[in-house]
């Protein structure tokens, strides 16, 4: 089943059950300074959950553009290393604003997966919040799921919040077992394991609370439902793909990349990871720029810049000596043109922004990486494991290599970086610059004054 059909089937299922189909909101959260990027389908309904806004409907469904890079939900560092984590992804979700609650949400979720998509029951597992007997009983008694596959888990896994404040609540997750061959092989491997055997497919959140700045919980005006299922994961399962990078959303990007770079998959693990990172980041870049995020040195612009630069570096590892990302953003737009036609309108703009950033970073990278390698070799040869702050600062100050890039390259060699030392050097330099500026300013003033003074006549009336 193609992704476009999977998405359509999801929305149609809920439309038939009186849900309003709501378009995805932008990746830039609307009037919400607590969020860097839209990170879940429920973001656009935050005020509705909190009871501050009323809508002409009490049930909704959407396929939401999400970005989990920076901020509370951050998958940036997992990308490429797993089959299932992404910076940008689409979240299929259904929502109830004081309408149905746990029982209907669980019943509909299960029915859609088993009957709507035909997933085999014997591959499914579920989890509930450890204290949530109600959800446990719905699964075991009403749905009739074998209690041996219902896991009671703690807050880390089964309590969901969009950020540090705002609506939140216990949740119940539906997992899919892809089989031992995808797993880590550890005897205790289970849905709690980070490996690629189990895909957490659908998260059903029972929105009951609001968390304030002090971290305290108070009840929402009425209990609500917020669910989220990653389209990319569902597509992988339904298409029998080995990983998300093999499904129809990613495969054409990977193929075009291989063609452009004259590459083959399976040459080395490092190269395979690089290919995955680039494919993932291309989607993030295309959607973010199309939604109006521009590379910059702060906030979401910085996260975007980091994503572009990381993709460029991975490209260099693959042998791309010239800008190449900009040649692929149009393909992302083409693949996603049905659900998001606006991508086709911004295609040229996105490519131009990408090229400009690639050109800007290219020189820095070529010179800087060599220096980074030398520093890392020095650390390794002295049997150290931490890159000293002074070296980090030198790389940054003299060669323009950002700290997170050094950190990433160091991590690939099992080394860490001295953040504190870097900060001290940075602050030291800022202080020096401030003093120099003050002195310079004083000098300038004195100088100007010296030159002007003889020409100024002081007159007293």
Three-state SS at 155: helix
Nearest-approach distance from CB 203 to ligand GLY, in angstroms: 3
Nearest-approach distance from CB 72 to ligand GLY, in angstroms: 11
Report which secondary-structure segment, H or E, holds 233: helix 231-238
- Tell me whether residue 37 or residue 324 sits nearer to ligand GLY (CB atom): 37
Selected from 22, 42, 375, 392, the binder of ligand GLY by CB under 6 A is 42
- Tell me whether residue 97 or residue 361 sits nearer to ligand GLY (CB atom): 97
Nearest-approach distance from CB 41 to ligand GLY, in angstroms: 6
Nearest-approach distance from CB 162 to ligand GLY, in angstroms: 7
Residue 225 touches ligand GLY, criterion: CB under 6 A: no
- Tell me whether residue 89 or residue 396 sits nearer to ligand GLY (CB atom): 89
Nearest-approach distance from CB 427 to ligand GLY, in angstroms: 37
- Tell me whether residue 91 or residue 274 sits nearer to ligand GLY (CB atom): 91
Question: Residue 262 contacts by C-beta under 8 Å, 6 or more apart in sequence?
Answer: none
- Tell me whether residue 130 or residue 371 sits nearer to ligand GLY (CB atom): 130
**C-alpha–C-alpha distance, residues 135 and 229, integer Å:** 18
Report which secondary-structure segment, H or E, holds 47: helix 46-49
Nearest-approach distance from CB 202 to ligand GLY, in angstroms: 8
- Tell me whether residue 229 or residue 254 sits nearer to ligand GLY (CB atom): 229
CA atoms within 13 A on the CB side of 72: 13
**C-alpha–C-alpha distance, residues 459 and 461, integer Å:** 6
Residue pair 79/275 in contact (Cβ under 8 Å)? The answer is: no
Nearest-approach distance from CB 278 to ligand GLY, in angstroms: 25
Q: What is the DSSP string of 86-132?
A: -SEEEEEEEEESSS--HHHHHHHHHHIIIIIS---GGGEEEEEETT-
Residue 391 touches ligand GLY, criterion: CB under 6 A: no
Residue pair 38/29 in contact (Cβ under 8 Å)? The answer is: yes
Nearest-approach distance from CB 318 to ligand GLY, in angstroms: 32
- Tell me whether residue 78 or residue 371 sits nearer to ligand GLY (CB atom): 78
Residue pair 201/176 in contact (Cβ under 8 Å)? The answer is: yes
- Tell me whether residue 135 or residue 205 sits nearer to ligand GLY (CB atom): 205
Three-state SS at 403: helix
For the beta carbon of residue 70, count every other beta carbon within 10 angstroms. Answer: 19
The count of chain residues that interact with ligand GLY, using the rule CB under 6 A, is 7
What is residue 138's DSSP assignment?
A: I
- Tell me whether residue 228 or residue 323 sits nearer to ligand GLY (CB atom): 228
Angle between helices 299-317 and 269-290 (to 10 degrees): 150
Q: What is the DSSP string of 281-312?
A: HHHHHHHHHHTT----SSHHHHHHHHHHHHHH
Nearest-approach distance from CB 308 to ligand GLY, in angstroms: 25
Residue pair 261/321 in contact (Cβ under 8 Å)? The answer is: no
**C-alpha–C-alpha distance, residues 305 and 29, integer Å:** 18
Angle between helices 389-399 and 419-452 (to 10 degrees): 50
Nearest-approach distance from CB 283 to ligand GLY, in angstroms: 18
Residue pair 64/25 in contact (Cβ under 8 Å)? The answer is: yes
Residue pair 293/304 in contact (Cβ under 8 Å)? The answer is: yes
Selected from 109, 223, 228, 402, the binder of ligand GLY by CB under 6 A is 228
Rule CB under 6 A: which of 148-207 touch ligand GLY? Answer: 160, 203, 205
Look at phi and psi of residue 298 and say left if phi exceeds 0, alpha if psi is from -120 to 50, else beta: beta
Nearest-approach distance from CB 292 to ligand GLY, in angstroms: 23
Selected from 36, 40, 325, 387, the binder of ligand GLY by CB under 6 A is 40
**C-alpha–C-alpha distance, residues 104 and 28, integer Å:** 31
Nearest-approach distance from CB 34 to ligand GLY, in angstroms: 15
- Tell me whether residue 159 or residue 396 sits nearer to ligand GLY (CB atom): 159
Q: Tell me, residue by residue from 72 to 111, as one string, x for binding to ligand GLY by CB under 6 A and - for no binding.
A: ----------------------------------------
- Tell me whether residue 11 or residue 282 sits nearer to ligand GLY (CB atom): 11
Residue 226 touches ligand GLY, criterion: CB under 6 A: yes
Report which secondary-structure segment, H or E, holds 394: helix 389-399
- Tell me whether residue 20 or residue 256 sits nearer to ligand GLY (CB atom): 20
Q: Which residues bind ligand GLY (CB under 6 A)?
A: 40, 42, 160, 203, 205, 226, 228
């Amino acid at each position: 089943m193609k992704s476009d059909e999977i998405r359509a089937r999801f929305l149609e299922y809920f439309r038939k059950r009186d849900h309003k189909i709501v378009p995805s909101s932008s990746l830039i959260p609307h009037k919400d300074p607590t969020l860097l990027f839209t990170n879940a389908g429920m973001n656009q309904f935050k005020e509705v959950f909190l009871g501050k806004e009323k809508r002409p409907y009490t049930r909704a469904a959407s396929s939401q553009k999400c970005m989990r890079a920076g901020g509370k939900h951050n998958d940036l560092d997992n990308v490429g290393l797993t089959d299932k984590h992404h910076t940008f992804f689409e979240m299929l979700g259904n929502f109830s604003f004081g309408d149905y609650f746990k029982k209907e949400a669980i019943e509909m979720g299960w029915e859609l997966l088993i009957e709507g998509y035909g997933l085999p029951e014997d591959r499914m597992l579920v989890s509930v919040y450890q204290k949530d007997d109600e959800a446990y009983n719905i699964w075991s008694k009403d749905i009739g799921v074998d209690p041996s596959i219902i896991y009671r888990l703690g807050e880390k896994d089964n309590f969901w919040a969009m950020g540090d404040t705002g609506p939140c609540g216990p949740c119940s997750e539906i997992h899919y077992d892809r089989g031992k061959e995808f797993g880590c092989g550890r005897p205790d491997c289970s849905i709690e394991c980070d490996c690629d055997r189990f895909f957490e497919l659908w998260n059903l959140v029972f929105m009951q609370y609001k968390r304030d700045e002090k971290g305290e919980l108070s009840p929402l005006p009425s209990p609500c439902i917020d669910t989220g299922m990653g389209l990319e994961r569902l597509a992988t399962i339904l298409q029998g793909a080995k990983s998300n990078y093999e499904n129809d959303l990613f495969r054409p990007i990977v193929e075009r990349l291989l063609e452009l770079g004259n590459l083959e998959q399976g040459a080395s693990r490092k190269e395979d990871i690089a290919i995955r990172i680039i494919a993932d980041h291309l989607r993030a870049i295309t959607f973010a720029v199309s939604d109006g995020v521009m590379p910059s040195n702060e906030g979401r612009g910085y996260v975007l810049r980091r994503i572009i630069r990381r993709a460029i570096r991975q490209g260099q590892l693959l042998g791309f000596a010239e800008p190449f990302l900009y040649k692929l953003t149009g393909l992302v737009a083409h693949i996603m043109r049905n659900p998001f036609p606006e991508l086709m309108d911004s295609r040229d703009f996105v490519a131009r922004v990408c090229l400009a950033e690639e050109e800007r970073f290219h020189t820095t990278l070529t010179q800087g990486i060599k220096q980074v390698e030398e520093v890392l070799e020095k650390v390794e040869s002295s049997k150290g494991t931490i890159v000293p702050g002074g070296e980090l600062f030198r790389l940054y100050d003299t060669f323009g290599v950002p700290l997170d890039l050094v950190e990433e390259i160091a991590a690939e060699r099992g080394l860490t970086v001295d953040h504190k030392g870097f900060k001290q050097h940075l602050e030291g330099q800022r202080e020096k610059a401030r003093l120099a500026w003050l002195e310079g300013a004083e000098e300038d003033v004195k100088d100007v004054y010296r030159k002007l003074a003889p020409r100024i006549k002081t007159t007293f009336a």
